[in-house]
């Protein structure tokens, strides 16, 4: 059998559809279907039930997926061990980070690092979810909460202050007891800044909702109300001002995690060292 076909079956099982698996594997969805068909023909067993609008795994498919996932984990472990011994900078390092933080604080230092080492290529992935370091979805993860599980080497990069911001006109025209707030919508669980803002707002209403900080920033600039924004995003924005000067709403920690198998890799260590040094001069807190 072609062991590579297992990757396509695993991608289908993880993501639940041909199209989602295709995006993960960077191929056409027809390729996913063909590779699963090939695997079934080689094994002489039906892995996928094609009845209905969505494909589902058969019982035999589920059993094989359990084994295939273990194989994939072992292959990733082998690759991490090999990559962990690299001593040259001719490599690609993938970094996962929250989009706003990535754009405002990580991109410029990483561009500078690439200019210093042209053979060191950076893949920056801005995402709110926690990328899997075990599955090599990223080599380095920058997160706003300390990872609690996994064989990771963890470094604290700094602290990030959230404060209340609004336009000067809104604050001049609106009494404090009548303030309205800008909050999150469609979250599986509230962010720490949303919880802090809800506690601060008490019984005062939320007037505008959005699912990311960029829109919160735009809504505050448009005069929608009070937004909880990180200082690095709003402090130097001339259209906004602090609603409660001298009173920090929330401080969040910024953590960097790398799988311990990769911590001695020269490309990884170079990126981590550069980011750690860069963060010392970045405004992430008052």
Q: Is the pLDDT of residue 282 over 70?
A: no
Q: pLDDT confidence of 190, banded at 50, 70, 90?
A: confident
Q: Is the pLDDT of residue 187 over 70?
A: no
Please write the tens of the pLDDT for every residue from 205-245.
999 999 889 999 999 999 999 999 999 899 889 999 999 99
Can you tell me the distance from the alpha carbon of 250 to that of 230, in angstroms, rounded to the nearest whole number?
9
What's the average model confidence in pLDDT over 113-128?
A: 92
Indicate the average pLDDT of the chain: 89
Can you tell me the distance from the alpha carbon of 277 to that of 155, in angstroms, rounded to the nearest whole number?
12
90-286 sits in which CATH class? Answer: alpha beta
Closest CA to 143 of 162, 161, 129: 129
- The full DSSP string for 39-83 is HHHHHTS--EE--SSS-EE-HHHHHHHHHHHHHHHHHHHHHHHHH
Please write the tens of the pLDDT for every residue from 86-98.
677 888 999 999 9
4-83 is a CATH 1.10.10.10 domain: yes
Q: What is the pLDDT of residue 54?
A: 84
Strands 206-210 and 91-97: unpaired
Can you tell me the distance from the alpha carbon of 247 to that of 241, in angstroms, rounded to the nearest whole number?
13
Q: Is the pLDDT of residue 249 over 80?
A: yes
Q: Could you tell me which residues are beta bridge partners of residue 252?
A: 160
Closest CA to 141 of 124, 158, 116: 124
Residue 98 is given by DSSP the state -
Report in angstroms the alpha-carbon separations of 200 from 173, 196, 243: 20, 6, 12
Q: Is the pLDDT of residue 10 over 70?
A: yes
In this predicted model, which residue has the larger pLDDT, 73 or 227? 227
Domain map (residue ranges) of the chain: 4-83, 90-286
Q: pLDDT confidence of 285, banded at 50, 70, 90?
A: low
- Helix (H, G, I), strand (E, B), or coil: what is residue 50? coil
What count of Cα atoms within 13 Å lies in the side-chain half-sphere of residue 104? Answer: 18
- For the chain, the farthest-separated pair of C-alpha atoms sits apart, in whole angstroms, at 74
Please write the tens of the pLDDT for every residue from 18-37.
888 888 888 898 999 899 99
Q: What is the pLDDT of residue 254?
A: 93
Q: What is the pLDDT of residue 70?
A: 83
């Amino acid at each position: 059998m072609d062991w590579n076909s297992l990757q396509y079956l695993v991608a289908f099982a993880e993501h639940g559809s041909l199209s989602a698996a295709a995006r993960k594997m960077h191929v056409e969805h027809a390729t996913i279907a063909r590779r699963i068909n090939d695997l079934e023909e080689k094994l002489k067993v039906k892995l996928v039930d094609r009845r209905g609008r969505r494909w589902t795994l058969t019982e035999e498919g589920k059993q094989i997926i359990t084994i295939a996932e273990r194989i994939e984990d072992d292959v990733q472990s082998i690759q991490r061990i090999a990559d962990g011994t690299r001593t040259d900078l001719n490599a690609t390092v993938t970094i996962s980070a929250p989009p706003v933080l990535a754009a405002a604080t990580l991109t410029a230092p990483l561009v500078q690092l690439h200019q210093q080492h042209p053979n060191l290529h950076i893949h920056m992935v801005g995402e709110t979810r926690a990328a899997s370091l075990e599955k090599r979805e990223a080599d380095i993860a920058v997160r706003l909460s300390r990872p609690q599980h996994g064989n990771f080497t963890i470094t604290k990069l700094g602290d990030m202050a959230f404060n209340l911001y609004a336009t000067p006109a809104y604050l001049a025209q609106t009494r404090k007891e009548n303030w309205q707030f800008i909050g999150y919508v469609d979250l599986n669980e509230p962010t720490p800044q949303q919880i802090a803002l809800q506690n601060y707002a008490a019984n005062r209403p939320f007037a505008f909702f959005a699912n990311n900080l960029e829109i919160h920033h735009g809504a505050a600039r448009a005069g929608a109300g009070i937004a909880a924004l990180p200082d690095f995003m709003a402090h130097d924005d001339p259209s906004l001002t602090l609603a409660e000067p001298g009173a920090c709403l929330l401080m969040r920690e910024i953590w960097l995690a790398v799988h311990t198998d990769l911590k001695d890799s020269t490309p990884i260590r170079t990126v981590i060292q550069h980011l750690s040094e860069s963060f010392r001069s970045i405004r992430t807190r008052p």
